[in-house]
Structure formats: C-alpha cells, structure tokens
Amino acid sequence: MLEVRDLHAEYGGIKALRGVSLRVEAGEIVAVLGANGAGKSTLLNCISRVENASAGRISFMGKELPRRPHQVVRSGLVQVPEGRRIFTHLTVRENLMTGAYCRRDRRGIREDLERVYALFPRLKERAGQYGGHLSGGEQQMLAISRGIMARPSLMMLDEPSLGLAPIMVDQIFEILKEINRAGATILLVEQNARKALTLCSRAYIMSTGTMERSGTGAELLVDEALIRSYLGGGES
Ligand SMILES: Nc1ncnc2c1ncn2[C@@H]1O[C@H](COP(=O)(O)OP(=O)(O)O)[C@@H](O)[C@H]1O
Ligand SMILES: [Mg+2]
C-alpha cells in the first residue's frame, strides 16, 4: 500500500533521514519506534509532504504519491500530527469538519461524524465547546477524530500517547485497534515501545536517521536488550 524507498532529508546541514525505506501493506498496523531525535517525525512529515525530502521515492496504492499535502490527503493518506495541533478557537464540531475539507459526499461526512461521536461520546458531549477548552486527552481524541473525518485508507499518527495519563493512553490504543478493524491501515510513531509492539503487526526501529532493524511486534517485544538500548527502557 505504502512504499518508501531510500528517503533522505536534511535541515540546513543536519541530515535527519539518511536513506530510509519502509513498506506498509493494506490492513496492517505498522509501528516506527526510536529514541528522541531519531527522525521519526521527519519521516512522517516527508511522507505527508509537509516537509520536503531531498531524495527518495514514495509510492502509495501502486502510484507515485502526489507532491502537495492536500493531494496526499485526497489520495487517502492522512497524518495526525505530533502535539495534536487542533484549532483552539474553533468548536469541537468545527474542528471535526476541517478534517473533511477535501470531501464532497455530504452523507458520508454525516455518517463519519456519527461514527466519531460513537467512538468518543465525550466529543459529542462537548461538540459546541472550543477546542482549547478540552483536556490534553480530549484534544488527542479530537485530533484522531479529525483524521477519521477525512476517511483515510492509511492513517499516520505521530506519538498519539505523548503526555497523556495511563488510562487515556489505553483508551487511545483501543481506538487505534478499532479504527484498524473498521478498515484503515495504520502507521504509528510511538515512544511507548511495549504498547506499540503489542498493538502492531510489524515494527521498524529508527536510529539517527536510518532504519536499524525491523521485525514482527512479537519478535521485537521479547528482545529486552533491544528495547533497553534503543528505546530507553520502554516502560509499560
Ligand atoms: N525544524 C527543524 N530544524 C532543524 N532541525 C530539526 C528540525 N526538526 C527536526 N530537526 C532535527 O532532525 C532530527 C530528527 O528529528 P525528528 O524527526 O523530530 O525526530 P523524532 O521525531 O524521532 O524525535 C533531530 O536531530 C532534530 O534535532
Ligand atoms: Mg517526533
């Protein structure tokens, strides 16, 4: 479904990606793990075309991925960015509708809004409130829901559990499972290694701009040395 080949990116003279390749098959949940600064966000931003790669190829659904961010969204690939970035001065409902900006199918949009409210009753309760008035966990739910509103075939999430209370983290991971069951493929960047490895079918380990290793979630999960050395303990 998604194939990234030999991607390079830099900021000024600093190389953030040095030839990164990855594949995601339809229906999978794939995790990208790695320490802070490894290049995980840069990788997702380059795939969604929010940042420019200096070299490399990306194909999606058997075609070369379009160059502009809105074309990428329209082709069915949506990113839920790091740090949530919801609109604080729009209501919850308005935030959700911004996720559907590329769509014209009014009935489908209405259905997806109902689906989001069923997944996150809290958002339904707070539909008329400003995004900025939500708690951190609720804002993350809103960011994910805004992604759902684009009806993506592939959803990429950048550290959705960052800074959330454990009970919220569990809820977010449950929701990811649910989104995947409903048909979307997921590419997930996470610092919470154990949780991500438990959820995913396969994972890639990034280290300073390169793919260090990959394997099934189950394989990597039992490799304590790997979890300790690359992922700094990986608390549950
Ligand atoms: N906007 C930027 N300007 C300069 N350097 C950046 C910028 N964003 C990221 N970097 C650098 O690129 C590298 C990879 O960063 P990032 O992709 O954010 O890593 P991760 O998401 O794995 O923590 C780091 O060395 C980081 O300092
Ligand atoms: Mg990051």
Average confidence (pLDDT) over 49-61 = 96
pLDDT score of 236 more than 70: no
pLDDT of residue 203: 96
The residue length of the chain stands at 236
Is 236 within the bounds of a domain?
Answer: no
How far is ligand 2, taken at its centre, from the CA of residue 162, in Å? 10
Rounded to whole angstroms, how far apart are CA atoms 98 and 43? 24
Range(s) of the domain holding residue 149? 2-231
Note residues around ion ligand 2 (Cβ under 5 angstroms). Answer: 41
Name, in order, each residue with C-beta under 8 angstroms of 110's C-beta and a sequence gap of 6 or more.
none
- Domains held by the chain: number: 1
Is the distance from CB of 122 to CB of 79 less than 8 angstroms? no
Residue 175 has pLDDT above 70, yes or no: yes
User: Which pLDDT belongs to residue 35?
Assistant: 87
Output the pTM of the full model: 0.92
The bound ligand whose nearest atom lies closest to the alpha carbon of 34 is: 1
Dist. CA 78–CA 72, nearest whole Å: 7
Question: Does residue 108 surpass a pLDDT of 50?
Answer: yes
CATH number at residue 50: 3.40.50.300
C-alpha 107 to ligand 2 mean position (Å): 36
Q: What residues does ligand 1 touch, defined as CB less than 6 Å away? A: 11, 14, 16, 34, 36-42
Q: Which SS3 state, helix, strand or coil, does residue 92 take?
A: helix
Bridge partners, 33 (sequence order): 190, 205
pLDDT tens track for 110-144? 999 999 999 999 999 999 999 999 998 899 999 99
CA distance 45 to 66: 14
Confidence bin at 25 (pLDDT 50/70/90): very high
